[in-house]
């Protein structure tokens, strides 16, 4: 983007859960549905990748929220932080956006970690949401992580990949908690990507870092805090692994749609599908993408957007009378 060119989003920092948290809000308030995107991680906002969202922007008034502990909303998360705080924050953010844009409801879309926060928020405050869409949906993360570890261990052995096999045996199966947990998880994730069989491939870490470091919405401190936030989210891993979503929220009073990549090794498809089967919801659907991994939107954008276009009433604007 050229220097001094106006950015398409405005950053606002309302008080959410006792902290000023960053929201990226477009000037666009057309008669399109309002969409709140809940990012993954924890601690990995979508702001540096905002240039990939044109397909969503054509269909929605897209709002991005940088959660507590992440980038522009960074502060060190306390050791006793709980998932419930992020769910409460998500509901407050929703209420702020509905008031600001004069809407009755919005569409809530959660990615990965954000899919857990989003689904729990929809279950707790269904009156605020027209529907919930989960992408890379967390369902039973402990089982999912252990499945992935066992599969890549088998694959590395079958391939005669002694280095990867030795690494996996050394770090052991998840969960990775306490001292050195983040390092172990990154080692496991590197091997996981190696054996994912995702036809779309995976984003190179160098590309990822470049996006963050060149993000026009970030000051230098925000860029540093982006990477600090990725580490601070480790405080939530233990609780996330203890949650079986279908037991925590057996019933949700809004339509639920889950979009899952067939080759997703981080949130395994069979658990997301099982969740949808068990959930009691007024309308629900599980969609699997044959050419995608964990990042369904990035891996197969056109098919993802086509799937959105088939959801009945998704493009109702939900404007207050």
Write the pLDDT tens digit of every residue in 228-242.
Answer: 888 877 778 889 999
| Rounded distance between C-alpha atoms, residue 67 and residue 86, angstroms | 8
Alpha helices in 159-280 (DSSP H): 162-171, 181-194, 205-213, 220-232, 237-242, 245-248, 269-278
pLDDT value of position 46: 94
Top CATH class, 9-143+204-309 = alpha beta
**In the chain, which segments carry CATH 3.40.50.1820?**
9-143+204-309
In 10 A of CB 221, how many CB atoms?
12
pLDDT value of position 5: 62
Q: Could you give the count of Cα atoms lying within 13 Å of 36 in the half-sphere of its Cβ?
A: 35
In this prediction the pTM is 0.93
The low-confidence residues of the chain, meaning pLDDT below 70, are: 1-5, 200-204, 321
Quick check: 113 and 42 in contact, CB under 8 A? Answer: yes
Residue 208: name the closest of 188, 221, 223, 222 by CA.
223
Quick check: 68 and 17 in contact, CB under 8 A? Answer: yes
pLDDT value of position 8: 87
Quick check: 72 and 11 in contact, CB under 8 A? Answer: yes
Specify the 3-state DSSP secondary structure of 61: strand
Quick check: 35 and 62 in contact, CB under 8 A? Answer: yes
| Rounded distance between C-alpha atoms, residue 55 and residue 191, angstroms | 31
Which helix (H) or strand (E) covers residue 118, if one does? helix 113-124
Tokens of 210: 């470049």
């Amino acid at each position: 983007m050229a220097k001094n060119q106006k950015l398409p989003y405005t950053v606002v920092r309302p008080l959410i859960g006792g902290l000023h948290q960053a929201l990226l809000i477009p000037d666009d308030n057309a008669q399109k549905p309002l969409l709140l995107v809940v990012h993954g991680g924890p601690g990995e906002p979508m702001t540096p990748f905002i240039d990939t969202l044109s397909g969503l922007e054509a269909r929605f008034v897209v709002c991005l929220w940088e959660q507590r502990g992440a980038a522009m909303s960074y502060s060190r998360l306390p050791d006793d932080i709980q998932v419930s705080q992020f769910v409460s924050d998500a509901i407050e953010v929703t209420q702020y956006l509905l008031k600001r844009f004069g809407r009755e409801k919005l569409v809530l879309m959660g990615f990965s970690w954000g899919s857990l926060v989003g689904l729990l928020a929809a279950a707790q405050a269904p009156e605020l949401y027209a529907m919930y869409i989960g992408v890379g949906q967390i369902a039973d993360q402990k089982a999912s992580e252990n499945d992935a570890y066992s599969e890549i261990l088998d694959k590395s052995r079958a391939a005669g990949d002694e280095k990867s096999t030795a690494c996996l045996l050394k770090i052991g199966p998840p969960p990775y908690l306490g001292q050195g947990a983040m390092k172990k998880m990154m080692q496991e994730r590197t091997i996981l990507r190696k054996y994912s069989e995702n036809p779309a491939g995976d984003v190179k870490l160098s590309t990822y870092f470049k996006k963050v470091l060149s993000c026009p919405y970030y000051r230098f401190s925000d860029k540093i805090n982006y990477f600090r936030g990725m580490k601070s989210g480790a405080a939530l891993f233990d609780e996330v692994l203890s949650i079986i979503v279908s037991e925590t929220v057996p019933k949700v009073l809004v339509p639920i749609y889950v979009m899952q990549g067939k080759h997703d090794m981080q949130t395994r498809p069979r658990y997301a599908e099982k969740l949808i089967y068990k959930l009691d919801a007024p309308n629900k659907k599980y969609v699997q993408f044959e050419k995608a991994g964990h990042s369904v939107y990035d891996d197969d954008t056109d098919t993802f957007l086509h799937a959105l276009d088939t959801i009945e009433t998704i493009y109702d604007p939900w404007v207050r009378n």
